[in-house]
Chains A and B, each alone.
Chain A
Amino acid sequence: MHNFTYHAANSVADAAAKVADGEDAVLMAGGMTLLPTLKQRLAQPSDIIDLAGVAGLSGIRVEGGTVTVGAMTTHDTVANSSEVAAAIPALAAVAGHIGDPQVRNRGTIGGSIANNDPAADYPAALVGLGATVCTNRREIAAGDFFTSMFETALDEGEIVTSVRFPAPETAAYMKFPNPASRYAIVGVFVARTTGGSVRVAVTGAAGCVYRETAMETALEGDFSPAALDGMTASADDLNEDIHASAEYRAHLVGVMARRAVAACG
């Protein structure tokens, strides 16, 4: 790591001010991506603003069919929350399948979504559930939040404070993990609202989380795995790497979507 100045922020406003003050300041949530990046000397921020000490940023609240997760809530907390398990079990399952216990104890939902790794799990849950990202300035619909690979709608100095999830009628997440990194080669989050609308959000396959609208339409007609028989994603623009070709990812989108629907019960 190169030298940097460390600041422990004590409030969201304090963090925002310190980010503005720094020449090239970055926010640190759990640090699970930032610290490896710094250690490999792939980034050289002047200042690191640690959000760990900011009161009110972590915790889970369930009210009237809405689950609100504070930005600094760890994956482990979400995975093991009985309230989350009762309201949106698929959300707890997503959190429980991120990385390993060491990562889940440090990594946070705010850090994960602000980083918007194309193979991260949470973006699929946010988009699949139609969540709302709350920041220190505004509220952003999940569908508008994830803009492109490692890019979000967050402005300079804008800080995620919480994520609000409406509880669906049913939902499930199916992940085919990268055998080495345990990120998603393909992860599909399927949710159906009480109104019958369906979302199929896909992570890992492309540069950014996206929705399989054709599958959504099919499932709105018939919410069963069979409704997706023969359906895959289009391989155009899907990721290609040493672990999976675009065609394989396209195929897996179909497989994971069918399995997610089946898991919805």
Chain B
Amino acid sequence: MAKHHISTTINGEPVEFLCNTEQTMLDVLRDELHLTGTKEGCATGDCGACSITVDGRLVCACLMLGVEAEGHAVETIEGMADGDKLHPLQQKFLEYAALQCGICTPGFLIASKALLEHNPDPTEEEARYWLAGNLCRCTGYDKIIRAVLDTAADMRGAS
């Protein structure tokens, strides 16, 4: 079967790729574009490890077909820092050690960024509810939540 030719934007750069219909956006990112920062934890949309944004909206890359990316803007963990300048959330995850094995971390960072864009002043309860789509088996979520809330406070202070 002929491959589809898809034109999209990834992390601000125009990108074209070829994919089969049955390849998910996660397959495309990891296997075709070698952007392996987006992880696969379950492939059924339940763990959030493959979180990316599409036109600014948080989605699971494992539950999106590669062909659906046509004409859309995709952002992944690889585009989160501005060159060497870490995103405030990345910086805060470092300061709090809000990660351990790191496998869920790209997904949490992308989901947290989407949260703060949606709600710059979340309560702890709101942050926990928003991040309930992402599984972490290491941290017990405590430091992640603290890092996110502290980042939110910093970003509000800076703006």
> Which A residues have a C-beta under 8 Å from some C-beta of B?
1-6, 8, 31-32, 35-36, 38-40, 48, 50, 52, 76, 99-103, 105-106, 182
Contacts and interface: CB of A to CB of B under 8 A. Distances in A.
B21 A102 contact: no
Given A1-B22, A101-B58, A103-B133, A40 B44 contact: yes
A6 B45 contact: no
A17 B107 CA distance: 39
Given A32-B45, A101-B111, A102-B48, A6 B65 contact: yes
A36 B60 CA distance: 11
B58 A105 contact: yes
B63 interface: yes
B113 to A, nearest CB: 12
Contacts of B115: 101
B147 to A, nearest CB: 18
Given A36-B45, A48-B21, A101-B114, A31 B64 contact: yes
11 contacts: A3-B22, A4-B21, A4-B22, A5-B1, A6-B65, A31-B63, A38-B22, A76-B57, A100-B132, A102-B48, A102-B51
Given A35-B65, A100-B132, 19 more contacts: A3-B1, A3-B21, A4-B22, A5-B1, A5-B21, A8-B70, A31-B64, A31-B65, A32-B45, A35-B63, A36-B44, A48-B21, A76-B57, A99-B133, A100-B48, A101-B130, A102-B59, A102-B133, A105-B58
Interface in B11-62: 20-22, 24, 43-45, 48, 51, 57-60, 62
A105 B114 CA distance: 11
B31 to A, nearest CB: 14
Contacts of B51: 102
Contacts of B44: 36, 39-40
